[in-house]
Structure 1
Amino acid sequence: MTTHKLLMLPGDGIGPEVMEQVRPLATLLGQAGVARFEVETGLVGGCAYDACGRAISDADMALAQAADAVLLGAVGGPRWDGVPYDVRPEAGLFRLRKELQLFANLRPAVCYPALADASSLKRELVDGLDLMLVRELTGGIYFGEPKEILDLGNGQRRGIDTQVYDTHEIERVGRVAFELARQRGNKVTSAEKRNVMKSGVLWNEVITALHRNEYPDVHLEHQLADSLGMQLVRAPKQFDVILTDNLFGDLLSDVAAMLTGSIGMLPSASLGAADAAGGGRRALYEPVHGSAPDIAGKALANPIAMINSFAMCLRTSFGLVDAAGLVEQAVANVLAAGLRTDDIRTPGTRTLSTGGMGRAIHDELARLLG
């Protein structure tokens, strides 16, 4: 069997609880002869700050650099609200993204038939929903300079964040979106705010030229980001691949998540550039949800987003397409059997704890593996 080096960074809040549900699945796949996983564990976020005064240590960053893929749970919580800005829990996640050069964030929004009634929208609007949001991850307003708070005197201060994009940053994430569209419904919707932002004007021009020169076979449409947000809650099934920048992607992906019934359902992948020699690429996989400190330690967290992030890892980083499909099928079968966590429960279903849902998916995967 091929051995894959996997780094687990459970993080804060519910992160450790949902990450713990992945380990038995990796063990089961190893026992079934699918692949062997060499698993290491590190600290990121608030727990890392408590341990070493930084949101991720240099040692754990080195482990991430050496791993074939990284799984991350969640970071942050009110416990660390008072720590210095540059060592806040989220700084660990930003460092991983920056130093691993993870520029493309893939966030699928898939509505399982069994959960269509759990969505905040009507069943007919979300039943069969399958869209992919591609978010640029290492540029834009979260990383642009200057980024500061200035003292203007007389009790006045000014907060500054800078939205900056270069042509090559837009092109490389655009290629990811167009390539994905070719494997799906062959449609890309690019979203920006070209009506009020110069970076939006450039984004629109670069994506238009990239489409014309390299992907004329893919259908491309442009929408203003605020209009796209409205369309997501009006008629979400019109979209296939949505391409957008760091800030708008952050906002729109959470809207897309809730279309499926719960933010606890959806995984994500953050990808770097493909290696020219072997075709591999650095990647980090994490649930879309946050650390949810209000339910941490109560066995209420939904582990499905974390488990589906592992499935994305199997498919994208390790090439284990069949195994990824079996994990996703196990999730679908458990939901179809009426098993739920608290966030997605409906009348007539059976509510499970975090561990209970993890065990149910494990047992169903074992059945599918034969």
Structure 2
Amino acid sequence: MSRRALTLLVAGFLALALAVIGAMLPVPYVVLSPGPTENTIGDVSGKPVIAISGHETYPTQGRLSLVTVAYQGGPDNRLDLLTALRGWLDPTVAVVPEETLFPKSTSAQQVEEQNTQEMTDSQQSATAAALNALKIPIEKVVTVAETDKGAPADGKLKPGDEITAVDGTTVGELASVATSVQSRKPGEQVTFTVRRAGASAQVQVGTVAGKDGKAKVGVQMRSGYRFPFKVDISVGEVGGPSAGLMFSLGIYDKLTPGALTGGMSIAGTGTIDPAGQVGPIGGIEQKMVGARKAGATVFLTPAGNCADAVKAVPAGLRLVRVETLDGAIKAVDALRDHAGEVPACPAG
């Protein structure tokens, strides 16, 4: 072999080796792809997604599917360059900077915990929205989220405690609890009446001065609701708030006579608040692909996502624009009964 040929061979081998090594190098990106769908009026792993006890329910049919986005990568399991390149070539997935899902100031575990809490909050809001739509009375409550380590409340108030009164005065809003505590002088005791494990108890907690000089006990609280009957929602490891709309529709369907869908396969997404307002979400492109693959022909789309949705809607999937739970119910009613036009995402 000539010297020139040997040089070219060695150079080619080195180039190939560098390319292989480069392809295996971790990169700070995340691949988003269509995730699983779950029928909110069906079962998952043999268990109803929505189980209602203490109130009459009605049989239903069809599908009201929540949709999800799966991801690869993250700070604890970084992608290699080759996987990222494959993702850039696949129109059904998105490759985004790692910080999109995992901000630098938070760990992967903190992100997972936040997603879990957002799912819990979403289920509460979805239940409240459905019951409000049905004019079923619900009651606002204040619950303990956590206590500050070493604060007077640490070890006395527990996560999940429902605060019903402060110093004998009934409370139902976060602001009223804070006002009652701050009305004391730092160093004084505050008596909390809490509902814990179904029983009422009184807990005395000391106060200290906060940065503003006002009394505080070191407790983080969140708003919640007490419902007149039990609504359990089970979807496994799905996290985040974007299934709120579909949970509300599933609850509404089970609490009303007849099948809301009329047997249609409907998917959708969107956050929801207790008043029934529907908000936009992320990953709309991947969620539509997942919905269509699961057989959906209608996709309930938050108005705030319409502009992105119309650019990537899969063939055979009809986009229905929704802004409220009431609007979504009316749209599904109209589709089922073939009763005129329904709001659509505008083209372009």
Same fold (TM over 0.5): no
TM-score, L = length of structure 2: 0.27
Return the index of the structure with the highest Cα Rg: 2
TM-score by length of 1: 0.26
The structure richer in helix per residue is 1
Greater strand content: 2
